[in-house]
Amino acid sequence: MTEDSPWEGMGPGTGFKVSLVSMILLTGVSAATAVGSAVDGDPLGAVGFGAAAVFLGQLSGLCAHLWWRPRRAVAPRLVHNGLTFRYSGWSYYWMGGFAVLMALALLLGGLAFLAAGGTTGLVVALVAFSGAFLFGWVVVRLLYGGRGRLRLTPAGLEHHGPGFTHRLAWEHVVDVRHAAERGSPLIIVHPMVTGAVDVTFTWPTRLGGRGGFMLPSMVIRGGWLADDPVVVLRTLQHYHGHPEHRGELASGAALQRVGQRRFGLRSPR
């Protein structure tokens, strides 16, 4: 992040850091044991420890990506006459990969218990299959609708995330603030109380739920962004505080402003 980051010093607690280091060590131990088992002619041990190494490695990578991944300057684009910040493709890889591995593990575990037979095996298998379905649904939510983005136009904001699209007019924006959730950056756009909430969900609410959306506010999670959350925050604050500059959001002038980091203070009202 940049030097004036409002999230400077924030991050996960000591317990989380210790757990992450432990997972990384276990990943290495599992991988080494898998190789040793293969050398000793134990295919079952090689497959088992290899699968454990892949799973722990994916989980470790997801956690590291959300909290500590290095931020590089990813230039926004002009899409449909709007300045657009894209979601990181790596975020989809780490989150989607973890969900796929969990679904596969639960599915295979359920099949094993189902093959064992008995009432207990049947109950455990049904629970495992239900869990596999839920993680599979997470993957559908991630991929449905394509890559996420935050688009700023002269008229307002459009935030397209996993399974939803949230629109908000500039005249309904009251404030743009930073926050954090378990040490991970959040950007919250607060609308006026009487402002309309224009949110389109791409799946039935009963299946997807609305947890974590913090409606009616628009919430952009920094861990998903390809660009530095500080740049996105400053851009939103600038165009919120300078309505006279919003016309440039449909042209290359906005790209130049963001590239040169020419963000001013809030205009007097």
Higher pLDDT, 149 or 214: 149
**3-class SS string, the chain:** CCCCCCCCCCCCCHHHHHHHHHHHHHHHHHHHHHHHHHHCCCHHHHHHHHHHHHHHHHHHHHHHHHHHCCCCCCCCEECCCCEEEEECHHHHHHHHHHHHHHHHHHHHHHHHHHHHCHHHHHHHHHHHHHHHHHHHHHHHHHHCCCCCEEEECCCEEEEEECCEEEEEEHHHEEEEEEEEECCEEEEEEEECCCCCCEEEECCCHHHHCCCCCCCCCEEEEHHHECCCHHHHHHHHHHHHHCHHHHHHHHCHHHHHHHHHCCCCCCCCC
Which tens digit of pLDDT belongs to each residue from 24-70? 899 999 999 999 999 888 888 888 889 889 989 988 888 877 776 65
Name the pTM for this structure. 0.80
**Mean pLDDT (whole number) for 181-204:** 81
Return the domain boundaries, the chain: 14-68, 88-146, 149-260
Checking 164-167 for CB contacts under 8 A at 24+ apart, the result is 164/199, 164/200, 164/201, 164/202, 164/213, 165/199, 165/200, 165/202, 166/198, 166/199, 166/200, 166/213, 166/218, 167/198, 167/199
Higher pLDDT, 172 or 199: 172
**Mean pLDDT (whole number) for 66-79:** 74
Which tens digit of pLDDT belongs to each residue from 58-70? 888 888 777 766 5
**Mean pLDDT (whole number) for 82-99:** 91
Task: Tell me what pLDDT residue 178 has.
Answer: 92
* Banded model confidence at residue 9, pLDDT cuts 50, 70, 90: low
Closest CA to 196 of 177, 215, 179: 215
Kindly provide the b/e burial profile for residues 82-93, where b requires at least 16 CB atoms within 10 angstroms of the residue's own CB: bbbbbbbeebbe
pLDDT-above-70 percentage for the chain: 87
Q: Count other C-beta atoms under 10 Å from residue 181's C-beta.
A: 13
Residue 37 and residue 44: Cα distance in Å, rounded?
A: 8
Closest CA to 232 of 85, 71, 22: 85
Task: Tell me what pLDDT residue 11 has.
Answer: 64
pLDDT-above-90 percentage for the chain: 41
Partnered with residue 189 across adjacent β-strands are 176, 218
Closest CA to 179 of 235, 226, 243, 223: 223
The CATH number of 149-260 is 2.30.29
Which tens digit of pLDDT belongs to each residue from 128-184? 999 999 999 888 888 877 789 999 999 999 999 887 889 999 999 999 999 988 778
Q: How many residues does the chain have?
A: 269
Beta carbons of 1 and 73 less than 8 angstroms apart: no
Residue 208 and residue 163: Cα distance in Å, rounded?
A: 8
